[in-house]
Amino acid sequence: MLTRLTPRHVRGLPVADRPLLMGVVNVTPDSFSDGGRFDRAEVAIAHGLELLADGADLLDIGGESTRPGATRPLVTEELARVVPVITALAAQGAVVSVDTMRAEVARAALDAGAAVVNDVSGGLADPEILRVVADSGATYVAMHWRAHATEMQQRATYDDVVREVRDELSARIDAALAAGIEPDRLAIDPGLGFAKTADHNWELLRRLDELDVLGMPILVGSSRKSFLGTLLAGPDGVPRPVDDREDATTALTTLAGMLGVWAVRVHQTRSSADALRVSARLLGHQFGRSSATGKVIEA
């Protein structure tokens, strides 16, 4: 039995009668899902605009691949990848999030117009990032994380994955608040695939309501991840390729809409935007208002 989450919003970000749709722009040569496709600034910018036209509410710009085993780029490389793309997309009116674990990159991204810092390490990789976000008054997304990509697979051990993720996220919320980030500018994310097996991911999705007690909006990123490839493996056991996991991603977006998460992070926004409009039309009244269009109302 899946339990609906408490509706929650983040101050200063769009509000809708459905989960917000975060479109991913990976400006990297090596991300698992789309590495090398958008690693030139003008291609990444065009892709961001396409995601917006297809229904994204905000864009998540990242310059570091977190695929298992990936080596980290230099700070200078990461900055050179993301800053021009953020500058251009923010100038065109997009609500921009930067996907980074580094304080220095977060600071430059906020200066370039980003409104959100999406930190997959929840402040563990570079604790200074919390202070940078607090000083700027931006939104902070704290994801559950245990280790960098080179060693995260070995850290996928839990007695009860949901309880441990909840407790570890609770500690990250405390750290963010202690650094001065305001509670209504915080969101959390269970970090599917980060130090998690496929079974851990499914368990987290099944028991997402147990994270609701933390009192924070929840973002979920399942798009194209390997647990979907494993689920959809053919009779030969070969996982479904990354670029053929879109329908499964949309199915999970539909589920997220029914559960009432705050936001979903996806690589392709068109089908997920449709899925969210369908779930909002069906269930919108449960958010306290109903809309036939799923149109975003500015906060």
Interacting residue with ligand PMM among 5, 27, 112, 120 (CB under 6 A): 120
What own/partner pairs with CB < 8 Å and gap ≥ 24 does 130-134 have? 130/175, 130/176, 130/179, 130/180, 130/181, 131/103, 131/179, 131/180, 132/103, 132/106, 132/107, 133/106, 133/176, 133/179, 133/181, 134/176, 134/179, 134/180, 134/181
Q: How far is the CB of 204 from ligand PMM (least distance, A)?
A: 11
Interacting residue with ligand PMM among 18, 48, 66, 277 (CB under 6 A): 66
| Annotated catalytic residue within 185, 225, 270, 277 | 225
The DSSP output letter for 265 is E
- Rounded to the nearest 10 degrees, the angle between the axes of helix 41-53 and helix 75-91 is 40
Q: Is 196 a catalytic residue?
A: no
Check residue 261 and give left, alpha or beta (phi > 0: left; psi -120 to 50: alpha): beta
Residue whose beta carbon is closest to ligand PMM? 221
Residue 246 touching ligand PMM (CB under 6 A): no
Structure token pair of residue 192: 């599917």
Which residues on neighbouring strands pair with residue 99, listed in sequence order? 62, 118
**Window contacting ligand PMM (CB under 6 A); options: 25-33, 81-89, 163-171, 271-279:** 25-33
Site for ligand PMM in 83-112 (CB under 6 A): 99
Q: Helix, strand, coil shares of the chain as percentages rounded to 5?
A: 45, 15, 45
Site for ligand PMM in 156-195 (CB under 6 A): 189, 191-192
Residue 47 touching ligand PMM (CB under 6 A): no
Interacting residue with ligand PMM among 13, 20, 23, 32 (CB under 6 A): 32
Contact indicator for 115, 13 with CB cutoff of 8 Å: yes
Torsion sign (Cα): 215, 204, 141, 251: negative
Residue among 120 and 259 whose Cβ is closer to ligand PMM:
120
Residue 33 touching ligand PMM (CB under 6 A): yes
**Window contacting ligand PMM (CB under 6 A); options: 28-36, 42-50, 81-89, 122-130:** 28-36
Contact indicator for 44, 27 with CB cutoff of 8 Å: yes
| Annotated catalytic residue within 196, 240, 265, 270 | 265
In angstroms, the CA 90 to CA 136 distance is: 16
Residue among 52 and 284 whose Cβ is closer to ligand PMM:
52
Torsion sign (Cα): 162, 164, 169, 170: positive
Residue 57 touching ligand PMM (CB under 6 A): no
Residue 226 touching ligand PMM (CB under 6 A): no
Contact indicator for 250, 272 with CB cutoff of 8 Å: yes
Residue among 189 and 212 whose Cβ is closer to ligand PMM:
189
Residue 265 touching ligand PMM (CB under 6 A): yes
Residue among 158 and 227 whose Cβ is closer to ligand PMM:
227
Q: Is 4 a catalytic residue?
A: no
Active site residues: 225, 265
Residues that bind ligand PMM (CB under 6 A): 24, 26, 31-33, 62, 65-66, 99, 118, 120, 141, 143, 189, 191-192, 219, 221, 265
